[in-house]
Amino acid sequence: MKLAALAVIAVSLAAQVIGALLPDVPLLICSTAAGLAAEGVLHKWQKGVLNAVAKTRADVTVRQLLRDFVLVIALLSLANQRQESAYVSLVYGLLIFYGLHFAGHAAAIFVRRTRTLPVLTRNIDASALRLSSAPPALLTRHPGTRLLLFQLPATAGLLLTAATESPRFAAWGIGVSVGLAALALAGLLVRLPKSRRPASDQEVLDWFEAWLAEYRPTFGMYFSGGTTSAYQANMWLEPLAAIEGRPLIVLRERFMLQKIGATDIPIVCIPKVADLMRLEHSTLKVLLHPANSGKTSQVLRIPTIKHAFINHGESDKLSSCNPYAKAYDEVWVAGPAARERYALADVGVEDRDIVEVGRPQLDAIRPYAGPPAGLTTVLYAPTWEGWDGNPGNTSVILAGENIVRELLADPGVRLLYKPHPMTGSVDPRAGAANERIQQMIRAANRAVERPQTAGSAELAPLTQKLTELTSETFSSGADPVERMLRQGEPEPGRAAAVAAAEQEWHAAYWRSLPAAEHQIITGTRPSLYSCFDEADVLISDVSSVVSDFLASGKPYAVANTSDMSEEAFRASLPTVRAATILSPDAAGVPALLAAVRNPELDELAEARADLKAHLLGPSTPPSSVRFNEAAQALCATADKQRARREARLLSEIPGQRTPAAPAGTADAGDVLTAPEPAVSGADRA
């Protein structure tokens, strides 16, 4: 089906050629119309196919030129038959149109370059940079669509001329197309004078340094990743905002600006390494890293900043004790289990560099309230297949359908199916199994009539409200400079308003669902943690989902699709020690449900409580408090290091006296005579 439109285009071009050579006017008109309609389908709904075809050099410009060339040949064939030569002059009109189109494309490239700033921001007043609204995206970012739309009058005129033998239709159509192309070019040219452009690169960088000096950030979060990885940073927005000080978020990819969730924290995107190095001279002391990426090594070069790896989730997978972690000054983990994991992995992370801070995101998860009074809500949240091809990564392929089949067979179960968003991205078998599971759930829902609730009417206005609050944040089509203009100085409390709206939306969402209806949850809402609160039991794989769910204290099960026995599985993976282990045939599902419904059969309750403390650390003080304390301690370490560095530099200048140390740091004079203390992480490098 994805290639149907492309096939129509190929067939229509061949039919056009035949219609021109015969000549056959009806065939010419029908084939041209079919080709343009298929082009519209590609541009509207199948951009992936469109981009793939463009790589073969048969892009939309080539295809449209071919259509026009064939139409001209057809008209010349008709003209030869009727002893007329008036059609030849129409070729010059088409040449003028294409000349204006290509000139407009060149102007669009230049305009885009003038609007490609070295630093992009959110929640910062950047009006001093002469920001202005962007030209229509049709003029600057969609040359193929622009060509098709602006050429429509010319194409229609040529077809009418072929049908009526009157060249005036083609002349008028080409004239309209030429006029549209000229207007588009003029609209871009008026933006080329220097007075109409945003600030130059140097002006932007000077402004950015002045803003840093005025704002004086103390700590921040650094993030770089792909289009689907923003959740790794978004989970840390609230904990970051709660830290004492002046926070900052540093991004590297321009598209990531609109993917970061609602927050009042200033956000800067610095794509180039040379510009990133300007942070060295700022007051920034600490950067927190929720993920490793190729660009992480670039910011680790800055010697004035301390770096802590906070990860985006902990599990027993090898990725949770990546050797790259030794590049950071500190590694912040949830509890003792992660400390032990690094020790066993022996990847070079020293125990003194590990700081236990808990998981502040989990503080709001509702605790276990006992067995369900009515239906048993089961959350099945398998992870994805991963990059290494390990069959134990995800249960979707080998066990997913069996697990869901067992759950659907129990009339007292309501199933929430929430697969990982990257399921099937590496292994097609996982994607196919995921689709079959969803079909099973839909079939089960169709088999039973359930009364509808009145909650849908309540949900609609809340959805609209939440959409309006987040529309600026997640707008993906806006020009980056225009987005800076829209998302300037933050509105006080906007993030809190979004959080309140999300909480209200989640409550209304669960109320709106028909009783006992199984749910397939693939979007960002409802959130995973909201599903935790709704569920009575979790079934998952070896992933951070299990560790996070333990904060609730509720029963959980883990699918064992590896080659290990159950005993080896429990012994080698700490997160599953308090879990019910399910084999690929899902034979243990009925016993799991019985233990959830009957507390006397739940033999793992005490083990879950012990494992929760082992994985997530103590409940008191709260994780948010420990997270803040760790940030303040690392900031103090950064202050001391800066004082030592400044003292060393001053001591090398003849006649200079060592200044007094800043408040809250070690005495610089004492540091000069004391032996250099041991440092860790990036300092050792």
Query: Is 359 found in the same domain as 295?
Result: yes
Q: Helix %, strand %, coil % for the chain, to 5?
A: 55, 10, 35
For 133-162, what is the mean pLDDT?
Answer: 91
**C-beta separation of 415 from 586 below 8 A:** no
DSSP assignment of 148-194: HHHHHHHHHHHHHHHHH--HHHHHHHHHHHHHHHHHHHHHHHTT-SG
Compute the Cα dihedral for 158, 47, 272, 201 and give only its sign: positive
Examine residue 377 and state whether it is found in any structural domain, yes or no: yes
What tens digit of pLDDT does each residue of 320-331 get? Answer: 677 888 899 999
470: confidence class by pLDDT, cuts 50, 70, 90: confident
14: confidence class by pLDDT, cuts 50, 70, 90: very high
Question: Any idea which residue has 């006397």 for tokens?
Answer: 600
CATH number for 591: 3.40.50.2000
Distances (CA, A) of 415 to 395, 517, 528: 16, 8, 14
One-letter amino acid of 564: M
- Say which residues have a Cβ less than 8 Å from residue 230's Cβ, sequence separation at least 6: 256, 259, 260, 261
Domain boundary among 196, 214, 242: 196
Beta strands 306-309; 330-333: pairing state: parallel
Question: Any idea which residue has 């204006």 for tokens?
Answer: 100
Which residues face 268 on adjacent strands? 121, 250
**C-beta separation of 368 from 645 below 8 A:** no
- Say which residues have a Cβ less than 8 Å from residue 10's Cβ, sequence separation at least 6: none
Examine residue 122 and state whether it is found in any structural domain, yes or no: no
**C-beta separation of 337 from 615 below 8 A:** yes
Distances (CA, A) of 633 to 285, 504, 629: 11, 36, 6
Query: Is 679 found in the same domain as 591?
Result: no
Query: Is 112 found in the same domain as 61?
Result: yes
Alpha carbon 580 to its chain's center = 33
Separation of alpha carbons 275 and 253, rounded Å: 13
Mean pLDDT lowest for which of 17-26, 47-56, 473-482? 473-482
Separation of alpha carbons 116 and 189, rounded Å: 17
Separation of alpha carbons 547 and 574, rounded Å: 10
Separation of alpha carbons 261 and 30, rounded Å: 48
For 437-466, what is the mean pLDDT?
Answer: 80
CA dihedral 500, 501, 506, 510 (to 10 degrees): 120
- Say which residues have a Cβ less than 8 Å from residue 306's Cβ, sequence separation at least 6: 285, 286, 287, 329, 330, 634, 635, 637, 638, 641, 682
Domain boundary among 196, 224, 240: 196
**C-beta separation of 125 from 142 below 8 A:** no
What tens digit of pLDDT does each residue of 59-87 get? Answer: 899 999 999 989 888 888 777 555 455 67
pTM, 2 dp? 0.80
Question: Any idea which residue has 């690094």 for tokens?
Answer: 342
What three-state secondary structure class fits 122?
Answer: strand
Separation of alpha carbons 667 and 647, rounded Å: 10
Question: Any idea which residue has 């670039």 for tokens?
Answer: 298
Query: Is 167 found in the same domain as 56?
Result: yes
What tens digit of pLDDT does each residue of 457-466 get? Answer: 778 888 888 8
**C-beta separation of 67 from 32 below 8 A:** yes
Total number of domains in the chain: 4
591: confidence class by pLDDT, cuts 50, 70, 90: very high
Mean pLDDT of the chain: 86
pLDDT at 162 over 80: yes
Separation of alpha carbons 299 and 270, rounded Å: 11
Query: Is 166 found in the same domain as 55?
Result: yes
pLDDT of residue 219: 94
**C-beta separation of 198 from 132 below 8 A:** yes
Examine residue 489 and state whether it is found in any structural domain, yes or no: no
- Percentage of the chain with pLDDT > 90? 48
Query: Is 140 found in the same domain as 286?
Result: no
Residue 489: Cβ within 10 Å count? 11
For 298-324, what is the mean pLDDT?
Answer: 83
Alpha carbon 314 to its chain's center = 20
Query: Is 250 found in the same domain as 186?
Result: no
Residue 337: Cβ within 10 Å count? 22
Alpha carbon 618 to its chain's center = 32
Residue 189: Cβ within 10 Å count? 15
Query: Cis bond leading into 428, ω under 30°?
Result: no
Examine residue 108 and state whether it is found in any structural domain, yes or no: yes
Separation of alpha carbons 295 and 338, rounded Å: 25
Separation of alpha carbons 358 and 248, rounded Å: 22
Angle between the 455-470 and 494-512 helix axes, to the nearest 10 degrees? 160
CATH number for 324: 3.40.50.11720
One-letter amino acid of 402: N
For 473-499, what is the mean pLDDT?
Answer: 72
For 501-523, what is the mean pLDDT?
Answer: 89
Query: Which DSSP symbol is given to 95?
Result: H
Domain boundary among 313, 340, 363: 363
477: confidence class by pLDDT, cuts 50, 70, 90: low
What tens digit of pLDDT does each residue of 348-359 get? Answer: 888 899 999 999
Alpha carbon 213 to its chain's center = 30
CA dihedral 520, 46, 44, 521 (to 10 degrees): 10
- Say which residues have a Cβ less than 8 Å from residue 270's Cβ, sequence separation at least 6: 118, 119, 250, 251, 252, 276, 278, 279
Query: Which DSSP symbol is given to 600?
Result: G
Examine residue 25 and state whether it is found in any structural domain, yes or no: yes
Query: Is 102 found in the same domain as 192?
Result: yes
Nearest by Cα to 550 from 339, 343, 313: 313
Query: Is 394 found in the same domain as 356?
Result: no
422: confidence class by pLDDT, cuts 50, 70, 90: confident
Question: Any idea which residue has 């008109």 for tokens?
Answer: 29
Query: Is 228 found in the same domain as 163?
Result: no
Examine residue 231 and state whether it is found in any structural domain, yes or no: yes
pLDDT of residue 657: 57
Domain that holds residue 605: 367-445+517-616
Separation of alpha carbons 253 and 269, rounded Å: 7
pLDDT at 680 over 70: no
Separation of alpha carbons 606 and 598, rounded Å: 15
pLDDT at 476 over 90: no
Query: Is 296 found in the same domain as 275?
Result: yes
pLDDT of residue 472: 61
Separation of alpha carbons 232 and 229, rounded Å: 6
For 593-601, what is the mean pLDDT?
Answer: 92
Query: Is 210 found in the same domain as 289?
Result: yes
Examine residue 559 and state whether it is found in any structural domain, yes or no: yes
Separation of alpha carbons 329 and 685, rounded Å: 10
The angle subtended at Cα 668 by Cα 284 and Cα 649, nearest 5°, is 75
For 35-41, what is the mean pLDDT?
Answer: 91
Question: Any idea which residue has 């089960």 for tokens?
Answer: 444
pLDDT of residue 218: 96
**C-beta separation of 540 from 381 below 8 A:** yes
pLDDT at 597 over 70: yes
Instruction: Phi first, then psi: give them for residue 281, nearest 5 degrees.
Output: -100, 10
Between these two residues, 535 and 457, which has the higher pLDDT value?
535
Separation of alpha carbons 461 and 517, rounded Å: 23
Separation of alpha carbons 454 and 466, rounded Å: 20
Residue 681: Cβ within 10 Å count? 21
Examine residue 499 and state whether it is found in any structural domain, yes or no: no
Please count the helices (runs of H) and the strands (runs of E) in the chain: 26, 14
